[in-house]
Every structure is written in structure tokens, then in C-alpha cells.
Structure 1
Amino acid sequence: MIHSVLEFLTQELNSFIKLKVGDPLTTRIFLSGVTNEAGIAIPDQSLGLSLINIEEERTNKEQQSRFINAVGKIEKRNPEIQLNLYVLITANFQNKQANNTSDDYVEGLKQLSYAIAFFQSKNVFTPENSPALSGFDETLKKIVVELYSYSFEQLYNFWSVVGAKYLPSVLYKVKTLTIQENAIQESGEPIEQIFLTSLHKS
């Protein structure tokens, strides 16, 4: 399910940026880790969408674990898990090719701005306003994307852990992803009557 959310957002962003730059053929953003053993994993002259953290949403956590099924039996299953995904969009334009204006810092900032503009114009995705969503996962009913600001210290720590020099990037919080496998732990008949026995001492 996590992969479906990220693949969907990558596709939506790609379509928007292609429209902005007027090039319907070139892929503009890739679902990719930020780095790998060789260095930056995001293809040159493109944006990368990377999952950098998964957080459990505890605010509205479901506590109920027993349910009555369609035939009237009691089923016990673990409460659903709600997740928030932290997604980094990074511009990998590092002037690697001489005399190529499409491979420079300014172009990277421009395309990163397109990504920000996309989520500013549309940050809630449902099957109604985004029919492609159902094609990725029919259980996905709503995705909300929010800009997430973090401090210079957090920024420094992140790129230090990644092991790469800073690239222009923006962080988003994608919420809330619900996971419920519906694995039955116990099953039985519901309690319909309670009998009380009173004992009196003479």
C-alpha cells in the first residue's frame, strides 16, 4: 500500500511537470532513494521522490478490537494502523554537462517550484477528483499532502546521515494511510444473556 501511494503521487507530479515544461515524453520525476552505493541515486536532470520516514498516527487510533460479522458472530482482530509518510522531493541538477542549460542549478529550482505549485493547487486526492488513484489500490480513499518545515539542524542531520552534499529539496507529510489486514484472532458467538447466581449464608 505504501508503494501504491508513492507511485501514484510520482505519476501525478510527472504529468503536471511535463505539462509545465512542454515536453510530454521526458520523465521528470522518479520514485527513488536519495543515495545508493555510487552516490546520488536520483537520475541526473530530474527530480526524485523519496520516502525518508514512516510515522504512526496516534491521534485517532482505533481502540476497538471486537466486531460483529455479517452472520452475527463476534470476531477479534487487531486495531488498524494509521501511518503518515514523510516524502522528500529533491532536484538533482548539478551542472554535470557543460553548455547544457537543462542541467543547471536554476533549472532544478524551476522544476522543484513546479512540484511545490502542484501540491499547492491540489493537496487532497480521492477517487472522485483523481480517478487514477483506484487503479493503484482500491482501498485508498483519501490522501492528504502537507508541506512540512524542518529546522536547519534537522536538515544538516538528514544530509549527514544520507552521506551526500545538500541538494535543493522540499519535504512533505503524506497522511493518513490506513492498514488493516483483517486477520481474525478469535471468533465466537456473541453473549446474549447474563445469568447471576446469588449465594446466601444461613
Structure 2
Amino acid sequence: MMVEAMTLLLKQLNDYVAQADGGAPGAPVQAVWGNVAQLERPEVASELENHIVLTLVNLEEERTLKNGRSFATVGPSDIAYRNRPVHLNLFVLFTANYRNYGTALRRLSQVLAFFQGKQKFTLANSPGALPQVPIAEFSLTMDLLSPTFEEVNHLWGFLGAKQVASVLYRGRLVAISDDRVLAGGGRIREIDVLSRDATQ
């Protein structure tokens, strides 16, 4: 599901940037995914240079959604037990990795404007973003985060890279589910209560 979420964001963002530049959707790709921690490696740097780079920097489980039913109705009379889906928040860093600093700031402004205009992404409001849709339901809401100077320093420190013009977003909620049936059975339709005298 994380791949689908990132793919959808890339497609939508690239279409927006192309339109903002006066071109049609399908123009040269500006946004790609990659690991900015590897910008010092020449073979990686050449692929990510002059692009907006999406990097997944952290995952967080949404614990408020852990409770709920672990069973579902299958047919008119059967019940299937499954583990609850894992709901994740994705922390995505958008890095404007351009040689020209003015271009980097312009691209970063376009990222901000894109998510200001569209915060929630679903299959219904993002037609064609996922050519082969392997899922029936999808929802991702992007929230702008404002880390402190100290947090930004820590972030780029553990990435092991020099700081580049960037912005951090949290994507909520990506559901991960294996849909594996753990057990099953029929519905309980009646309960017989025996009196104490009847059991002796």
C-alpha cells in the first residue's frame, strides 16, 4: 500500500507541476522517489539531480484505530476472523534537489501550493493516478509539518546528507492488511440455558 500511496502522489504532483509550468500532463517528470541519504553517491546523485525527490523518512502506527472488530460476515451464515489492518502515518520528505537555488525554491513553492489545494487523495478524486488498481479503497490525507531548527538538524543528521531545500509532510492513513483468514465458523443463532437441576 505504501508503493501505491507514493505512486499516486508522484503522478498527481507531476501533473500539477507540468500544468503550473504551462505544459500538459505527461511533460518531463519533475518529481521522483529516492533516498536523499544517498545523494553523496555519484550514481544516485545523477538520477536525483534537478528533481523533486520524495523520501519516506519515518512510519508511525495510528494506535487510535487498533481497537475494533476482528471478524467479518462471509455469506449469509459464516464468520471469518482476521487481524485488524495496520493503519500507518507516512512521513514524507519532499526535497527540491536542483543546482539552481531559485529553481529549487520555485519547485518547493509548487509542492506547497499543490498540497494546499488538495489535501485528501482517494481513488475517486485521483482518476488515472493508479493505472492498475490493486485495491478497492484508498484514502490519504497530507498534513504539513513544521519541525523546529533542532528537529531539522536531527533529520538531516541521521540522513547523513547536507541540508537541501525541503518540506516535510505526514500522510494519514495508509492501511496495511494481509486479509488472511485466521479462523472461521458459523454464527451463533441461539443459546440454550440449562437450569442447574437439569445438569445434575
Tell me the TM-score normalized by structure 2. Answer: 0.86
Name the counterpart of 2:41.
Answer: 38
Amino acid at match of 2:41: A
Greater alpha carbon shift after TM alignment, 64-73 vs 44-53: 64-73
Contact kept, 8 Å, 1:8 with 1:136, in 2: the verdict is no
Counterpart Cα distance in 2 of 1:47 and 1:70 = 48
> Does 2:116 correspond to 1:120?
yes
Amino acid at match of 2:9: L
> Does 2:80 correspond to 1:75?
yes
Contact kept, 8 Å, 2:12 with 2:129, in 1: the verdict is no
Q: Which structure 1 segments of 5+ residues have no match?
A: 94-102
Give 1:150 shift: 1.4
Local SS of the residue matching 1:135: coil
Give 1:59 shift: 1.9
Counterpart Cα distance in 2 of 1:62 and 1:79 = 8
Contact kept, 8 Å, 1:134 with 1:140, in 2: the verdict is no
Counterpart Cα distance in 1 of 2:111 and 2:189 = 57
Q: Which ranges of 4 or more aligned residues in structure 1 deviate by more than 4 Å?
A: 39-42
Contact kept, 8 Å, 1:4 with 1:136, in 2: the verdict is no
Name the counterpart of 2:191.
Answer: 194
Name the counterpart of 1:15.
Answer: 15
Amino acid at match of 1:63: G
Corresponding residue pairs, total: 192
Contact kept, 8 Å, 2:33 with 2:55, in 1: the verdict is yes
Aligned counterpart in structure 1 of residue 65 of structure 2, from 60, 65, 72: 60
Give 1:198 shift: 3.2
Contact kept, 8 Å, 2:115 with 2:142, in 1: the verdict is yes
Contact kept, 8 Å, 1:29 with 1:48, in 2: the verdict is yes
Greater share of helix residues, 1 or 2? 2
Give 1:125 shift: 1.8
Give 1:159 shift: 0.7
> Does 2:178 correspond to 1:181?
yes
Name the counterpart of 1:167.
Answer: 164
Local SS of the residue matching 2:181: coil
C-alpha spacing 1:108/1:142, structure 2 compared with 1 (3 Å): same
Local SS of the residue matching 1:158: helix
Local SS of the residue matching 2:28: coil
Contact kept, 8 Å, 1:64 with 1:79, in 2: the verdict is yes
Give 1:74 shift: 2.0
Deviations 1:131-174 (A, max 9, x none): 12453533343221111111222111111111111001001111
Counterpart Cα distance in 2 of 1:136 and 1:145 = 23
Q: Which structure 2 segments of 5+ residues have no match?
A: none
Tell me the TM-score normalized by structure 1. Answer: 0.85
Amino acid at match of 1:131: P
Name the counterpart of 1:28.
Answer: 30
Amino acid at match of 2:154: N
Deviations 1:68-122 (A, max 9, x none): 21141122111122111111100112xxxxxxxxx31111001111111111111
Counterpart Cα distance in 2 of 1:71 and 1:162 = 53
Contact kept, 8 Å, 1:82 with 1:178, in 2: the verdict is yes
> Does 2:152 correspond to 1:155?
yes
C-alpha spacing 1:108/1:134, structure 2 compared with 1 (3 Å): closer
Local SS of the residue matching 1:132: coil
